[in-house]
Structure 1
Amino acid sequence: MNKFMELLGEKLMPFAAKLGENRYLGSLRDAFMLAFPLTMFGSIAVVLMNLPFWSDSTKETLQLYLGSAQSATMSIMTVFVVFGIGYALSNYYKVEAIYGGAIALASFLILTPFFFNSEKGELITGALSLDRLGAKGMFIGMITAFVAAELYRFFVGRNWTIKMPPGVPPAVAKSFAALIPAILTLSIFLLINIFVQALFNTNLHDVIYTTIQKPLVGLGSGIVPTLIALFFVQVLWFFGLHGQIIVNSVMDPIWNTLMLENLDAYKAGLPLPHIITKPFMEVFTVGLGGSGMTLAVVITLAFFMKSKQSKEIGRLALGPGLFNVNEPILFGMPIVLNATILIPWILAPLVVTLFNYLVMAAGIVPPPTGVAVPWTVPIIINGILATNSWLGGALQVVDFFIVFLIWYPFLKLVDRSNLARENEATQE
């Protein structure tokens, strides 16, 4: 076992470290963090509009007055992600980041059709469809932002810029410096758009959505890829690497797209198309005490173990654990590099996630509606908010006891070892 863990550490840790330092994944992570407070605001509005005790007339009134809060945030999440990628990647290259973000956004809009068919089948021109700026446009938005930022950096790096004389205000000088790189970058995307429209009588949005986004999202919504992703989160954390950040950098585009598709269906009063979404992964994994669902572990240590060491660690970690911050238990117990508890550390999240998926697939508990819930919201409350049902909170209570049952025998072994050492120290 020890040899296997050493081999796994030698092979996995360098790869995971490189993945965590990758400029594209880092830019993508930063872009989603930029969108986070905005989508949170939209989520609050959605929750207020759809509280279960409102009458239909009250819901209609609230949607009339509060609907724009959601439309201006979550429904156009791709806009913020595109700008964020352009900004973060340009900042990595040490070029003017604000222009990198603006050029990326303009490039995305050049590729976006300014027409759509209404619900009645009428062609509406000179307007943008919200789904192009939200779930449906997520992948082309990300691809466009990366390419636009790279082109902008390339042209700036070649010094294809206009340099203003000394004494010109910095804002004016920076604007002129970005002029030629911006024109060249936007021209390339305009030519791409003309080429696709003229030769294929379509638009790049639909091409990317059909060939890339739809298959990837379909794959990412399955339980097997989700369990594989969760397995790597746990393994990376075991070696002291932030598994959540590393794996989420890869999976967030898929999970966030699934979230937005659920939200669109929820707003329209349609059945929710997906079980696995970003809120599912946040609320029903991290939302049970942090990575590894360790709230049950903390409470078990604090109140069901006998050794002073176990009790003290559990009680110190209890406060943060209630708000899903579990670094005190990860490094204080420790869980990191502790082969004794490797089995429950990996097994518990996989078992609970599979259980939750099956329960929701059976229709016993509704899946998350697409509302983004802050990961620091305590257990039960976050489950209710995510599903708009008390059943979401009840499911988390069941999850808690599943984690408790899996962990208890292993924690008992650790506690006996701690107790034996304490008794030996007392006798000396």
Structure 2
Amino acid sequence: MINTFVAPSSVYSNSIYSLFVVVGISYSLAKTYGINRIHCAMTALVSMLITIPTSIITESGEVVEGALSHSQLGSSAIFTAMIMAFVITELYRWAVNHKLTINLPSSVPASIQDSFTSFIPATLCMVFALIICAVFKQTSYGTIGAFLFTMLQQPLSVLGNSPIAAIIAGVLNNIFWFFGLHGQTLVSSIFSPFWKPAAAENIAALAAGKALPNLISSGFVNTWIWFGGWISIPLLIALWLYRKKRKDWGEVMKISAVPGFFNIYEPLMFGLPLVLNPFMLIPMILTPLISGTVGYLVTVSGIVPFSTGIDLPITIPLGLNGILGSNDILTGVIQLLCVPILVAIWYFFLKIQDKSERESGIYTDEA
């Protein structure tokens, strides 16, 4: 009953995910180039649709004309959407920059002028898409989407969706944060093209009542690897345990407690600080190694289910995040069981830093 109720939301979100991708990328790229964003994005969308077959074959073998298959628009088409968005936007920009436009007198309203300005670039892009469509119809792949999925997305996904790659991404994330850079933004730009399609496949399988196909997805990473609570909660507890020995750390703990509970760890990053603090680099690296390894082992062994792939708000606290991300209470429990291990690690390195700062005179009890 629940699946029947939520099925339409899946059809009009995950099943056409690639359409959002092509429009979003083209719109943003056109904005940076200073060309008409709406016209360029719509041209990219239409160009991509041109490359998609307008007939489907049902399970009974019947050919239905004038229909688009969700399999051509969902997670398997994300690479196609990305490439089409970049290529069409660049072609559109080239046409505009080379004055391949229809210019009207200045007395013509701007809205009408924009339509005529976009006419030739848009036509050029769609003709290019028609040529691409015709070329790939002559191949064994049939469509550019099938070609890119077979030659690029599938092989790269095997590499990008491996547990080692996911844990390395978590380590890189924290290393970037150590240097004061937003790690998630930098690392996700590389790995999201692999994790997001895997998450979309899991969501589609969940909606269809089937077994989830992908262990590693954006859902797994957000639950077990670079979830903010993996740093903020253990570190806050370690600071609380150390508060009587270091009053300055106690103040940092008080200021960071509320945002840290909701996984916002910037006050700790720049307040303690963790950034450019050599004592804190090792626990920052160990945290995703431990949480990611535990997450992989308990998932691959079947103790907890695969992450559903649903993107949760980043402010959901540790424990509840695991429950909602996998529809399983045990996932949240295991998350919480990892906390004491991480607390011990953070406490150990806080103690080393405290000892060093006292010996060097950087900190005294009178301070």
Specify if TM > 0.5.
Answer: yes
Q: How many pairs does the alignment contain?
A: 365
Distance 2:170 2:226 in 1: 11
TM-align CA RMSD: 2.0
Q: Confirm or deny: 8 A CA contact 2:14 2:75 kept in the other structure.
A: no
- Secondary structure at 1:168's aligned position in 2? coil
Is 1:355 the counterpart of 2:294? The answer is: yes
- Secondary structure at 2:64's aligned position in 1? strand
Structure 2 residue aligned with 1:378, among 317, 323, 334?
317
Corresponding residue number in structure 2 for 1:298: 236
4+ residue runs over 4 A deviation: 416-423
Corresponding residue number in structure 2 for 1:324: 263
Pairwise CA distance, 1:403? 1.8
Q: Confirm or deny: 8 A CA contact 1:299 1:318 kept in the other structure.
A: no
* CA 1:402–1:124: 2 relative to 1, 3 Å: farther
Corresponding residue number in structure 1 for 2:205: 265
* CA 1:201–1:254: 2 relative to 1, 3 Å: closer
CA offsets 1:116-139 (integer angstroms, 9 cap, x no match): 333444333311111221111111
Is 1:80 the counterpart of 2:20? The answer is: yes
* CA 1:357–1:108: 2 relative to 1, 3 Å: same
Amino acid at match of 1:295: I
Distance 1:178 1:423 in 2: 65
Q: Confirm or deny: 8 A CA contact 1:293 1:349 kept in the other structure.
A: no
What is the TM-score normalised by the length of structure 1?
Answer: 0.81
Structure 1: runs of 5 or more not aligned: 1-59
Corresponding residue number in structure 1 for 2:304: 365
Structure 2: runs of 5 or more not aligned: none
- Indicate the percent of aligned positions where both proteins have the same amino acid: 36
Pairwise CA distance, 1:105? 1.0
The equivalences for 1:189-204 within 5 A come to: 189-200=129-140, 202-204=142-144
Pairwise CA distance, 1:213? 0.5
Pairwise CA distance, 1:329? 0.5
Structure 2 residue aligned with 1:148, among 74, 88, 91?
88
CA offsets 1:161-197 (integer angstroms, 9 cap, x no match): 1122223222211111111000001101111110110
Q: Confirm or deny: 8 A CA contact 1:286 1:375 kept in the other structure.
A: no
Corresponding residue number in structure 2 for 1:99: 39
Distance 2:276 2:362 in 1: 22
Q: Confirm or deny: 8 A CA contact 1:283 1:375 kept in the other structure.
A: no
- Secondary structure at 2:75's aligned position in 1? coil
Amino acid at match of 2:232: T
Pairwise CA distance, 1:288? 4.4
Distance 2:53 2:38 in 1: 25
Amino acid at match of 2:213: P
Corresponding residue number in structure 1 for 2:51: 111
CA offsets 1:298-334 (integer angstroms, 9 cap, x no match): 2221344321111111121111112211111011111
CA offsets 1:268-324 (integer angstroms, 9 cap, x no match): 2222111111111122234342xx633210222134432111111112111111221
Distance 1:99 1:131 in 2: 26
- Secondary structure at 1:116's aligned position in 2? strand
Distance 1:254 1:227 in 2: 14
Q: Mean alpha-carbon deviation: is it higher for 389-398 or for 359-368?
A: 389-398
